[in-house]
Amino acid sequence: MAKMKPISPARIAEAREEAYAVLARLMGRLTPGEHVVRLGVTMDGEEKPLCAALPLTVKGDGGPEDLVGAEDKYLDNMAFLLMVGLAQPLSYGTLYLRSPSEGEEGAACVMRAWCLSYCTLNECTASEAAELIGGREPAVFLDAFGLHSSDEDDEGEAVYPPVAYTVL
């Protein structure tokens, strides 16, 4: 088992803030229907990942006024585990989103995935997502959208915890 270095409270606070921002951006891009977000995070040297699931219900007509419903306990668990992954450089994992079919013929659902590595969450292409999580259920895999920056950002740069910019 790898020995993990202590993490400062400031870094944990930044990762917690980023985790909630990532989840808010993800929820803001959902279409009406039932969705599930799953996250598995493994620490270096461990074999079994820690997992969280977040069922989401989106009601509306597909516009900006749609209502997204999530139970607090699931949202808090997801945000906590994502915070750990964003704060701890020795962690890695996969975040994936299962959504209702978006008109793809014969698909029960669509899937998108993001890879968590070295405190960053990066989008996976459809082929990478199929390789990571394919075979679990019939689905159409789509390219993931960015979760670290919003369309409102002037510079369009991703915002990562400071560890992403430092040499380990």
* Contact yes or no for 124/114 (Cβ under 8 A): yes
* Contact yes or no for 3/146 (Cβ under 8 A): no
User: For position 154, what pLDDT does the model report?
Assistant: 41
> Backbone phi, then psi, for 38, in 5-degree steps?
-125, 145
* Contact yes or no for 50/19 (Cβ under 8 A): no
The CA distance from 72 to 82, in Å, is: 15
Q: Along the 168 residues of the chain, how does pLDDT read in single tens digits?
A: 556 778 899 999 999 999 999 999 999 889 899 999 999 999 877 889 999 999 999 998 877 777 889 999 999 999 999 999 999 988 899 999 999 876 655 567 899 999 999 889 999 999 999 888 877 667 888 999 998 754 444 444 444 444 333 333
The CA distance from 94 to 133, in Å, is: 9
State pTM to two decimals: 0.81
Q: Indicate the burial class of 80 (C-beta count within 10 angstroms; 0-12, 13-18, 19 or more).
A: middle
Give strand pairing partners of 93. Answer: 41, 116
Phi-psi region of 124 (alpha: psi -120 to 50; beta: other; left: phi over 0): beta
